[in-house]
Structure 1
Amino acid sequence: MVVFKNQKDFKDPVPVGADKPSPQIAAGTPEEPQWLKDFQRDGFVVVKGVVSKEKALNYYAPAGEDWLEGFNLGYKRDDPSTWDVKNLPRHNHGGLYSQYSFAHAQFVWDAKTEPKIVELFEKLWGTKELTVSFDGGSLAVPLPVDQVQGNAKPWPHSDQSAYRPQRHCVQGLLNILPNGPEDGGLNVLKGSANLFEQYFKEHMHLEPPEKWPTRDGYSWKEDELKWFYDRGCEWVKPDMDPGDFVLWDSREVHYGAFPKSQNKRFAVYICYKPIAFMSDEQKAVKVEAFKRGYCTTHDPCDFIIKGDQDAEWNIHWPYPKPVINEQGQKAIGLIPY
């Protein structure tokens, strides 16, 4: 019997898969690309033009608009008067979608299996036998600030537990629309990933009686972040063109900023890890999650399902099920490598 653990009521005493080693990135070889060196130094890196700008703008962007409009709630892509929360499916932080089987929309699976995106992760991990995340994406439409969670304030977090301080997961996103300084999008605290373990070692005395969260995630307070600022970490908002791909260490402090401009922000989250690091139990859970159309957390191996997957309002498979190529089927676990 497959047992699902989810974000809202995760109570395990340790993170999922804490009994297994973490995969090691393929660093230190003569073939190591410059982007991988930059990633290790800064905790993130932008790789330019992984998907053509034309494909990003002419296929992925309209597909995202089709997805939003297809709910028939009143949103119209070219009519700003309809850019209102009441006209959009439920989401978080102004445009993050992790319900409605978003992770399994056809255009999302097309992005996950883009050859150059898969190749990035093959080079990162040094293997072609990978499994992929079922995490969501951002279809952020400029909204009134009072319609956005937390009034659109920054929400700095890391996507690993304090009890998993080593590098364990590398996240990624395909950027779909032009993404400049005033546009919504990823903000990272440059260099913070490499200090994550040290922070918790030095602050063990602050561990609360109920413990830090064992679910992979930690929300940072500004007074905690001062420790990182004092060690030279600075906030960076990577500028990205359509078709660029950004990778970041799950320990890196980051958040998705809300648009200050009237430009939309579209992105698909994609994360691969070596399938050898997934337990047989998690493989079974993953296949069943796919069959149900569930969305999961970022880690492709040590995931739990996102909250509200079985909420009454959450429609599974609102659109036809995707056609998935051989690469995708292997990455799900439907067919073996």
Structure 2
Amino acid sequence: HHDQGKSRVGLHSYQGALHLEDAEEDDYCFMAIEKSHQFHSEFFKMIPEHKRSESRKLNKGNIDWFKKKGCRIRRVPCAKGGMIVWDSRTVHAGAPPKVGRENPRMGPAAWATHEDLKLKEEAYEKFKASKHYPS
């Protein structure tokens, strides 16, 4: 997915992930389409139906488009205590493990409002996705 939508042109932010445990290439790890940030504006010009929303999930055809531009998908391992930083125009996702492993995520309960908890409960019950933030 992209986290920077078409309404923002050029570099607007960086994102990052701090790894509390080792993440090997065959494990849950960060995955990105290398150099996809270079084609951000061109990509959004070819999908005029996309709304102004910041986040954009990609389908197989979208990913193939980036591959035709010479971009390649890369799983990025990271050592415990390491950090990965990327341009928000970069197509990225969490890569599923090649072998089974749990993937727990959490945030301090103190950060969650009553409304946050209700939304998370509803998302859980309806098998919906939610925002990156745990609260």
Asked if Structure 1 and Structure 2 have the same fold, meaning a TM-score greater than 0.5 normalized by the shorter chain, the answer is yes
Deviation, 1:222, is 1.3
Q: Which residue does 2:41 correspond to in 1?
A: 197
Gap runs ≥5 in structure 2: 122-135
Q: Which amino acid aligns with 1:207?
A: P
Larger Rg: 1
Distance change (3 Å), C-alpha of 1:199 and 1:243: same
Identity of aligned residues (%): 23
3-state secondary structure, aligned to 2:118:
coil
Deviation, 1:223, is 0.9
Deviation, 1:253, is 0.6
Aligned mate of 2:55, from 217, 229, 247: 217
Q: Which residue does 1:293 correspond to in 2?
A: 111
3-state secondary structure, aligned to 1:311:
helix
Q: TM-score, normalising length from structure 2? A: 0.73
Q: Which amino acid aligns with 2:28?
A: G
Deviation, 1:195, is 1.0
Distance 1:313 1:233 in 2: 35
Q: Counterparts of 1:136-155 in structure 2 under 5 Å?
A: none
3-state secondary structure, aligned to 2:76:
coil
Q: Counterparts of 1:1-337 in structure 2 under 5 Å?
A: 157-201=1-45, 203=46, 206-208=47-49, 212-265=50-103, 293-294=111-112, 309=116, 311=118
Distance change (3 Å), C-alpha of 1:194 and 1:313: closer
Q: Which amino acid aligns with 1:198?
A: E
Q: TM-score, normalising length from structure 1? A: 0.32
Q: Which amino acid aligns with 1:173?
A: A
Deviation, 1:312, is 6.9
Q: Which amino acid aligns with 1:230?
A: K
Distance change (3 Å), C-alpha of 1:185 and 1:199: same
Corresponding residue pairs, total = 118
Distance change (3 Å), C-alpha of 1:310 and 1:239: closer
Over the aligned positions, Cα root-mean-square deviation in angstroms equals 2.7
More helix by share: 1
Gap runs ≥5 in structure 1: 1-156, 269-291, 296-307, 315-337
Distance change (3 Å), C-alpha of 1:163 and 1:181: same
Distance 2:105 2:81 in 1: 10
